[in-house]
Chain A
Amino acid sequence: MPSRSAVLVGYGLGVVSEDAAADAALLADLRRVLGSRARDNDFERGLYSRDGSIEGSPPAIVCLPETAAEVAEIVRICRRHGRPFLARGSGTGLAGGAVPVGRPVVVATSKMDRIVEVDTANRVAWVEPGVLNLDLSRALAPQGFHFAPDPSSQQVCSIGGNIANNSGGPHCLAYGVTTAHIAALEVVLPSGETTTLGGVEAEPAGLDLRGLFVGSEGTMGIATKAAVRLTPNAPAVRTLLLDFDDVSEGSAAVSAIIAAGLVPSALEMMDQRAIEIVEAFAHAGYPTGAAAVLLVELDGLPGGVEAGVDIVREVALKHHVGHVRVAADDEERALLWKGRKNAFGAVARIKPDYYLHDTVVPRSRLTEVLEKVYRIADAYDLIAVNVFHAGDGNLHPILAFDRRQPGVDERVKAAGRDIVAASIEAGGVLSGEHGIGLEKRDYMGMLFSAHDMYTQDLVRETFDPDGFANPLKVIPTGSRCSDSFHQHVPEGAWV
C-alpha cells in the first residue's frame, strides 16, 4: 500500500527540482478547464507560497476555480500528472497548513464565495468555502442569526479554512468550535469523486465522516460547499473588563468563574505587555498599569446575564480585582473587543515580526505555564506577549522579534518547541484551534504514541491512499514504521 511519502519521494521531494516541461504540460491541461484562472507567474506563486506562519515555499501553479465541478476537474488533472494539490482559503492559518510542499497545485477558493441558501426553517446556511467568516455573520444578522466560530482573523478568514482547521475563537467557550456548527459538507475527495458528508437531517446514517473531515487540514479532500448551522443572536449581552495587580489572581478568577457554574460566552485574558500594546492602538481605556485584565462576556436571556454579572463581580472581588468595568452600551463593548481582536497586529508596535503560538492547558495550570512562557522567552532573548482564551485554557503566547537579526528564526522555533513541551507537561495538548500543519507535525510524538499516530494515518489514508491531498501535513512522516516517527523531511527540503 503506497504511503503518501511515496508520491513525494517519487515526485522528488528532497531533491525537488523544477521540471519545466512537466509544469508546462500540467498548466496546459489546467488552462483547458480554467483558462486564465490557472496561473504560474512568479508574483502569484510568491503570493501563495506563504500562509500566516513563518514558513514558505512556492507552488508550481495557482488555480482559482469558481465551481465544485472545476475543483473536481483540477483534482483529476493533478492525479493524472502525479502532482499533489493543496486547498487554500484566505491563507491566515498559523501552523503552515497552507504552505505548499512538493511543488503542488494550489486550489485557492477565494472565487467560490457565494452564500447559496439561507434556510432558516432548518437553521442552516449553504455556503461556498471562500465566504469570509464575518461576511457570513453580517449576512445572517437581519434574520437574527450568526455563525458562532469567531477567530480573531474573522474579517479575512474563510469558512473553508475554518472547516479545514476546526477553528475556534473567543466565543467558542460557550458555543463550541467549528465542528459543532457544520451540519454537512460537499467535498471533492482525493480520488476526484464528489460526495456529501453529514446532512441536514437529525442523524445522518453511517459513520460521522463529516466530523472526521472537519479539522483534517485539507488532507482528506477539498470542501466545495458547507451547510453551516445558524446560531440565534442572544437577546442580552454584557461585557466586563476586570483588572488585576497579579497574574495569578487573574488566573484564579478564571477558574473560580467557571467553578461558580457560569459558562461565559467568552473569557479572555491579556497580560501587562498586551494591555499596553492594545491600549496604544485601540484607546479603549484598558488599565495600562495592571498586571492582567480579563475580558468577560455573558450572553443569553437577560435574567441569566444579569445574575452572571453579579457572580463575576463577586468572584472578582474575592480575587482582589482592581476595577470592574461593565460596558455601558454596544459602542463601548465593540471598543473593548476591538482591542482584543486586533492585539496580534498591534504587536508590530514593539517588533516588526511575531510568531503566534497556540496550546491548551488545564485552567488550573495557567499561572504556572504562563510563568514558564516568560522564562522561555527570556532564555531565547525574545519578547513574550500573552493574549488568550483563558476560559478554555487556550494559550496564545506571541513571540515578538525582528527577523533581520541573524539567527533569530532558530531561537523563535526553539522557544516555540519549549512552550509546547511545557504545555504538554502540564497536562495540555499541542493545539487548541490553529491546527498541526507543518509547525507542530513533528511534535505529535510528544502527545501521541507511535501506534496512536499510525492509527490516525490509517484513517487519513482511507481518504487519500496515494498521498495527493496536502501531503506531509499533520502526521509526521514515517508514522507507518512504528519505531521511526521522529523522522521528517530533511530541513530545507521543501523550502
Chain B
Amino acid sequence: MSDQVTASLASRIAPEVAEFAGVVGESGPVAVVGARTHWHVGGAADAGAREVQAPCGIWEHEPSEMTVRCGAGTTVAELGTHLARTGQMVPLDPVDAAATVGGVLACGFSGHRRLRYGYVRDLVLQTRHVDATGKVVTAGGPTVKNVSGYDLPRLLVGSLGTLGLLAEVILRTLPVPPAAQWLVGDGDPFAAFDLLYRPSSILWNGSHAWILLEGDPVDVAAEAAKLVPAGFDPCDGPPPIPGTGRESMRPSDLRVLAGTGGEWLAEVGIGLVHRHEPVPAAPVSSANAALMDQLKQRLDPDHRLNPGRRAW
C-alpha cells in the first residue's frame, strides 16, 4: 500500500514557491530583499547581484494545529494581524514590524520576549528554500513535533540567506496571553528575574528596568504585586529598542554594564545588549569557521547566494 507514498512533502510545493525558484534560477549572483529593515546586518550586499523577493501570503492557518504556513516575504505585521483574529501569535517581535518573516529568520534575531517564548529558531517547524542550483529543498516537517532527518531549518535561521533563500516556512503559533503588564522601576533587574516565574521580558538601561509579565490576569497581578516592594510600578511600555547593534554576552556578564552610560537596552536573563551603534561580529573559532566555510562550499560553491553578506 505504501509504495505510492513517495516524497510527500515535495509533492505539495506551492506554485508561488516554484515560481520563486524559477526567478532565482540556476546562475548569476542573487540578493534576496525583504523589507530592508535589517539591511545593514552582515555587511553590504554586492551591488552587482540581481535582487529577488520571496513570495508573500499566509497560505494555511489551522488554529487547532497551532501552525501557520506562509511565504517568507510576508511581513511580520501582516502575519500578526492574521493570527490575532483567532487569538494566536508567533512572537517574532522584530524591532520594526515591517520586517518580513524571512528577513527575521535569515538574521536569526529572537525578539525581546525570548525569556518566555524561547529562541526564534525554535518557532520554525518546516522550511522550503531555493538552493544555489535553483531547486526547492524542503526540510523539517509540518507538524509541531518532528525529528525526521537533519535539522536544516536551524542551519538556515541566522545564515543570512548565504546557504539558501527562504521561500516558505511553517511556524508554530501560540495563544495570545489573556493579560499583559509592563512595569518600570530602578530596582535590581537581576533580583527581579530571580523573584519571578517566567517573565516575558526584562529590559534594562543601567539605571531603570522595564519588566513584561504575561499570562492569566490573576497571575500577572500577583507577580506585579511582588515587584512593587522591589521598586517597580506599572507603565505603558519600554522605550524604543535600539535597532542597530546587538552585542551578545553571557547573561551573568550583563552586570558589568551597571553604571555605564550610553543609550543601550539589555535583555536581562538573555545576555543581549541592543545598541544604536553597530557592534562588530564576535569571532568564530577556527574549527567552527572551517565547518562553516565547508558548508558554504558544498551548498553554494559559486557564492551566488547573497554575495557580500557574511554570517560568520
B254-290 at interface with A (beta carbon < 8 Å) = 267, 269-272, 281-285, 287-289
Q: How far is the CB of B92 from chain A (nearest CB, A)?
A: 15
Flag if B154 contacts A212 (CB, 8 Å). yes
Q: What are 12 A-B pairs with beta-carbon distances under 8 A?
A: A172-B145, A179-B122, A194-B287, A202-B267, A207-B311, A259-B63, A301-B197, A364-B65, A431-B146, A432-B147, A447-B8, A474-B149
Flag if A212 contacts B155 (CB, 8 Å). yes
A491 adjacent to chain B (CB < 8 Å): no
- List the one stretch of A32-40, A47-55, A319-327, A451-459 in contact with chain B: A451-459
0/1 per residue, A232-244, Cβ < 8 Å to B? 1011000000000
Flag if B145 contacts A389 (CB, 8 Å). yes
Given contacts A200-B250, A451-B10, 4 further A-B contacts (CB under 8 A): A204-B282, A261-B178, A427-B143, A432-B147
- List the one stretch of A4-12, A355-363, A400-408 in contact with chain B: A355-363
Flag if B2 contacts A179 (CB, 8 Å). no
Q: How far is the CB of B207 from chain A (nearest CB, A)?
A: 21
Q: How far is the CB of B71 from chain A (nearest CB, A)?
A: 19
Which of B87, B108, B109, B147 is the one whose CB lies under 8 Å from A177? B147
Which of B10, B139, B248 is the one whose CB lies under 8 Å from A204? B248
Flag if B121 contacts A255 (CB, 8 Å). no
Flag if B299 contacts A444 (CB, 8 Å). no
State A206–B163 Cα separation when bound (angstroms): 12
Flag if B151 contacts A207 (CB, 8 Å). no
B200 adjacent to chain A (CB < 8 Å): no
Q: How large, as a class, is the contact surface on chain A?
A: 35 or more
A444-B149 in contact given A360-B141, A455-B137 (Cβ < 8 Å): yes
State A204–B285 Cα separation when bound (angstroms): 11
Flag if B197 contacts A452 (CB, 8 Å). no
Flag if A209 contacts B152 (CB, 8 Å). no
A332 adjacent to chain B (CB < 8 Å): no
State A351–B299 Cα separation when bound (angstroms): 49
| Chain B, residue nearest A229 (CB) | B118
Flag if B175 contacts A452 (CB, 8 Å). no
Which of B8, B121, B246, B299 is the one whose CB lies under 8 Å from A458? B299
CB < 8 Å A-B pair total: 275
Flag if A418 contacts B216 (CB, 8 Å). no
Which of B8, B157, B215, B250 is the one whose CB lies under 8 Å from A301? B215
Flag if B288 contacts A195 (CB, 8 Å). yes
Q: How far is the CB of A275 from chain B (nearest CB, A)?
A: 24
Q: How far is the CB of A258 from chain B (nearest CB, A)?
A: 6
- List the one stretch of B48-56, B74-82, B95-103, B218-226 in contact with chain A: B218-226
Q: How far is the CB of B265 from chain A (nearest CB, A)?
A: 13
Flag if B299 contacts A303 (CB, 8 Å). no
Flag if B9 contacts A421 (CB, 8 Å). no
B252 cross-chain contacts in A, Cβ below 8 A? 119, 121-122
A103 adjacent to chain B (CB < 8 Å): no
A303-B216 in contact given A122-B251, A425-B8, A451-B135 (Cβ < 8 Å): yes
Q: How far is the CB of B8 from chain A (nearest CB, A)?
A: 5
State A168–B119 Cα separation when bound (angstroms): 17
| Chain A, residue nearest B63 (CB) | A259
A196-B139 in contact given A179-B151, A446-B2 (Cβ < 8 Å): no
B138 adjacent to chain A (CB < 8 Å): yes
State A462–B298 Cα separation when bound (angstroms): 8
B306 adjacent to chain A (CB < 8 Å): no
State A200–B248 Cα separation when bound (angstroms): 10
Q: How far is the CB of B301 from chain A (nearest CB, A)?
A: 10
Flag if A168 contacts B295 (CB, 8 Å). no
